[in-house]
Structure formats: structure tokens, C-alpha cells
Amino acid sequence: MADRLVCLAIAMIAPEILVYLAFCEKLSAAELTESTSQEERLGPQWKSLHSFYALMGGFRIRLNRGGEATPTDYRLTADAVILLYRRGLVNWEQIPLHEEIEDRSKADWFIKGLAVFQASTFVIKSIGRVAQGLPITTLELTTLAYLPGMAALSFLWWHKPYDVTKATLLELKGNENGGRESASMTNDWLRSTSQLALPYEDFPLAMECIRSARFALGPINRWGGVAGLCFAVFGAIHCAAWSFEFATTGERWAWRASSLTISASVPLSWAITGVLRYFIVRYYKRKFSTVPASEVKAMMDEVAWKPLNRITRIVHGCGLALYAPARIYLLFEVFFGLRFLPSACYDSVEWSKYF
């Protein structure tokens, strides 16, 4: 519960982080499902739901690592699960069936359906208010701004289990060639390879959100571009309150400035570094066109990538430094603005006009 509350707080401040995380997880789940489709026994059983389950830490293994007196449960990465299966150290019977994972998330479909119903009802009511010339509050407008992100999350995470309350324990078995000795060697290998068997975290979902947030300081990939679009849409909806009535003129202008800032600060910083990286890399590739291929990588790292990464962090950091205070102000103003509402905000939509 605490993990979800922390994640909810992060999503309230920057919902774009969750959208980016969902895009990455969807892509990883699709690649994992595709990689297992050719397996003779596992392929027909392994579905998209299993890929999400593995990415969420749904598989665990018991290891003695670092001189521990008793075995400790470690979370297996998705790559480790597939690798163990291909080495013949995990039988396909140990992988839970599609129905077994769904059974653990029976409430998930109801929760998702209820959320979609509530969001649709809210949008219809807001459209009705605008159609009849009734004002909407900044709180209602901010709620509407979250809905595109919610729709994207619902689509990307539709096949993702609600939660992993108890991970599936995988027991290593000897394969036909190596027997128990092979399983023991794999156990030792997993103990020494920290990227395949990871310790469980107290706040896994929140930590994943924080790790995803760090991408904003580094070079942006194609999915980062999608997240940048989410930043722009999220801020643009706030700009719809440009002509709303506020308690003071200062608050109106602060809302306008903050809305523009969250719309443009991060996407613009990403666009600047993206264009800069494109032309600088293109220049150096032409300059080093006569250099042997074995030496190009080292030279590019020294004269292009390292300086570019430093510039990228500075520019992106400036964008985030502008975004954060503007976003926090909008969150507070949403509630402060409730002290001054036009009387028409309390009027209801007359649906009888349409039926």
C-alpha cells in the first residue's frame, strides 16, 4: 500500500513519468513474448501476461550470496527466467499458467473497467457544461488533463497483472548433460551476476518510477519523444484556463505562466539537445570518415559523446528546474482557487435538453 501511495504522489506531480514507464514496459513485454514464441514447450504457454509478470518480479529464486548463513529470496529478471529455461534448469511446468496469474488479479478487470467508466462519465459532464455555457473549475480542468495519460496507461497496461503479492519460486534442476553439478554451477553464476538475480526492494514501483524519471536528464530515445508529447498535451490542457476567473490578477498570470512552462520547458529542452546531437554527430562522422573503424568509437567518445552528455544533462536539468516549481504551483492553485468560484459553477447540466 505504501508503495502505491508513493507512486501516486509521483504520478500527481509528473504523470508523464508513468506514461514513459508504461511505454518501456510494453515494449519490453512485447520483445520478451516474441523471443519465447519459438520455444517448443514454453512458446505456446508464455503469453504477454507472463512477460509483464516476469518484468514485475513475479519469479524468485533462493540463493546464498555474500556468505549468508541462510538462503535469501532474490527477484529474477525476465532475461534470467528465459535463460534458465533454455539451459534446461527450469522445467516449463514451473511456469504458472495464464489462468493462474489472472486468478491472482480478479479485481484488476473490475478496477480498470470502473476507472474507464468514471473517466468517460466525467468527460461527458465536462463537455455538457461547456456546451451549455457553464464554467468549469481549475480542479475539473486539471482532472481532465490527467485523462489522456490515464487512457495511455490503460491501453499499455491492459494485460499487466494488478500486483505480485507472492512471487513464483523457481527451483533449479540439473539438465541432462550436467545434472546437479550444472545446477550448482548456475547457482554460483547467479550469485555472482547481480544483474540477473536482484534483491527485493521496499518500494519497487516507486523506485522504478524514480529510475524512469532519471531518463529526463540523459539522451532521449524515441519513447522519450512520446513522453515529451505527453508533457506538451498535459500542459496545453492547463492552458485552457487562460480566460478563467481567478481570485486575483496575479494568480491568473501565474497560472498562465506555469501552464506554458510545463507545456514547453521539458519538451523544448529535449528538442534542443536532440537537434544539437544530430548535427554534432553528423559533423564528426564526416570528419572521421577516413579514420579506421576500430578507432572511430574511441574518438567519438572523447570528442563528441562525453561533451554532448554533459551538455545534455545541463540543458535537461534547466528544463526540469523550470517544470518542477510550475507544476507544484498549479497543484496548490487548483485547491486555493476553490475559495473564489463563480456562482454558475454550482449549476448543473440540464440533460433534459438533449433527451
Q: Confirm whether 156 is domain-assigned.
A: no
Domain boundary among 177, 192, 217: 217
* Per-residue pLDDT tens digits for 41-89: 665 677 788 888 888 878 877 766 555 556 677 777 777 777 777 777 7
Residue 243 lies in a domain: yes
- 61 with 8, same domain? yes
Using 50, 70 and 90 to split pLDDT, how confident is the model at 342?
Answer: confident
Same domain, 1 and 56: yes
> How far apart, in whole angstroms, are the C-alpha atoms of residue 199 and residue 248?
52
Domain range spanning residue 287?
Answer: 218-341
pLDDT score at 240: 92
pLDDT above 90: percentage of residues in the chain: 14
Phi, psi (rounded to 5 degrees) for 243: -105, 15
The whole-number average pLDDT for the span 209-234 is: 74
**Whether residue 169 sits in one domain with residue 255:** no
Query: Do 198 and 238 belong to one domain?
Result: no
Residues 263 and 316 in one domain: yes
Domain identity same for 88 and 191: yes
Span 164-173, mean pLDDT? 73
pLDDT at 152: 83
Examine the pLDDT at 175 and tell me if it is beyond 70: no
Same-domain check for residues 187 and 236: no
349 domain residue, yes or no: no
Same domain flag for 294 and 175: no
Q: Are 231 and 332 in a shared domain? A: yes
Q: What was the pLDDT predicted at 263? A: 92
pLDDT in tens, 119-160: 889 999 999 998 888 889 999 999 999 998 888 888 888 777
Is 60 exceeded by the pLDDT of residue 183? no
In a domain, 73, yes or no: yes
The answer to whether residues 68 and 205 belong to one domain is yes
pLDDT bracket for residue 231 (50, 70, 90): confident
Comparing 309 with 261, the larger pLDDT belongs to 261
**Grid coordinates standing for 160?**
499487466
Q: Quick one: average pLDDT of 233-238?
A: 92
* pLDDT reported for residue 304: 72
Q: Are residues 210 and 241 in the same domain?
A: no
SS3 annotation, the chain? CHHHHHHHHHHHHCHHHHHHHHHHHHHHHHHHHHHHCCCCCHHHHCCHHHHHHHHCCCEEEEECCCCCCCCEEEEECHHHHHHHHHCCCCCHHHCCCHHHHHHCCHHHHHHHHHHHHHHHHHHHHHHHHHHCCCCCCHHHHHHHHHHHHHHHHHHHCCCCCCCCCCCEECCCCCECCCHHHHHHHHHHHHHHCCCCEECCCCCHHHHHHHHHHHHHHCCCCHHHHHHHHHHHHHHHHHHHHCCCCCCCHHHHHHHHHHHHHHHHHHHHHHHHHHHHHHHHHHHHHHHCCCCCHHHHHHHHHHHHHHHHHHHHHHHHHHHHHHHHHHHHHHHHHHHHHHHCCCHHHHCCCCHHHCC
Number of domains present in the structure of the chain: 2
Instruction: Give the per-residue pLDDT at 258.
Output: 95
Identify whether residues 174 and 281 lie together within a single domain: no
At 42-52, the pLDDT tens digits run 656 777 888 88
Tell me what the pLDDT averaged over the chain comes to.
77
Over residues 251-304, the pLDDT tens digits come to 999 999 999 999 999 889 888 888 888 888 787 777 777 767 666 667 766 677
CA distances, 215 to each of 78, 92, 333 (Å)? 21, 36, 28
Examine residue 353 and state whether it is found in any structural domain, yes or no: no
Q: How confident is the model at residue 332 (pLDDT cuts 50, 70, 90)?
A: very high
Among 122-131, 166-175, 184-193, 329-338, the least confident range: 184-193
Q: Which three cell numbers stand for residue 287?
A: 570528419
